Amino acid sequence: MQIKNICCIGAGYVGGPTMAVIADKCPDILVNVVDINKDRIQKWNSPNLDELPIYEPGLKEIIEKCRNKNLGFSSSIKEKIKEADMIFISVNTPTKQKGFGAGKASDLKWVEACARQVALYASDHTIVVEKSTLPVRTAGVIKEILNETEVSPNNSSLKKTFDVLSNPEFLAEGSAIDDLIYPDRVLIGGENHMAIESLVKIYQNWVPNEKILKTNLWSSELAKLTSNAFLAQRISSINSISAICEETGADIREVSKAIGFDSRIGSKFLNSGPGFGGKLF
């Protein structure tokens, strides 16, 4: 399936920069970013690029180059979903504040709301891509919601069909654009080979083929969570070693450097500090 029109639901930290890079690297694809937050959309459309809702080195230049050409930002969610061949869901998944799993589990209400909008407004066959960080098996929930609406509201004889892919982000604040342009890997999980290849072809415009990994849906979802856990574990471990250094007279900087020279371990995420934090960790 050749993708000509992409819609991303969610103009936040992941959706905005990711779609900007796709628009920059794929000038033949029309990319629309939609959000219910009209103030955020207004900032993305501001002629003053210093007013963008997100600051990342290199982002302003891409927005200036692509906006109002093949990259748009709007609150016209219904219209943009209807026009899209591929829809990215890139909304927040905060920790639940009440009910079962409060304080621990992810709140999927925005993801589920997006899936219902896609089910209602999409036309013909649509590829739906998970971009948010999600619990394993969330794709199953999305598929159930999409299958609840099987016909087009404009044509009762037209059956809607969907494929769901998992394409988690691996971005760090302050280097998001570089992380998108020069990724360590791009992970795509799915069940339909043709749907997977449709997304692969987009990334192949700038990402070497050997860095594009294809898995099943659940492996992709779990790999994202596991990557976060491994990074958090390294930070926690080096901070524990720092406490030992204070008791023994060892220098944590020297210990970290010595550990990092081991090719099996590597030097990244071995700086002691205040610890890890944030909703994703």
Q: Give the tens place of pLDDT for each residue, 86-145.
A: 999 999 875 666 777 676 667 688 899 999 999 999 988 999 999 988 888 899 999 999
In whole angstroms, what separates CA 129 from the centre of its chain? 9
CATH code, residues 5-215: 3.40.50.720
Annotated domain spans of the chain:
5-215, 232-281
| C-beta of residue 269 within 8 angstroms of C-beta of residue 231 | yes
pTM here? 0.88
CATH fourth-level superfamily of 232-281 = N-(1-d-carboxylethyl)-l-norvaline Dehydrogenase; domain 2 (1.10.1040.10)
Q: What is the pLDDT of residues 226-235, one digit of tens each?
A: 998 888 889 8
H or E element that contains 217: helix 217-248
| C-beta of residue 276 within 8 angstroms of C-beta of residue 231 | yes
Output the pLDDT for position 25.
98
Closest by Cα among 277, 182, 173 to 231: 277
Q: Is 19 helix (H, G, I), strand (E, B) or coil?
A: helix
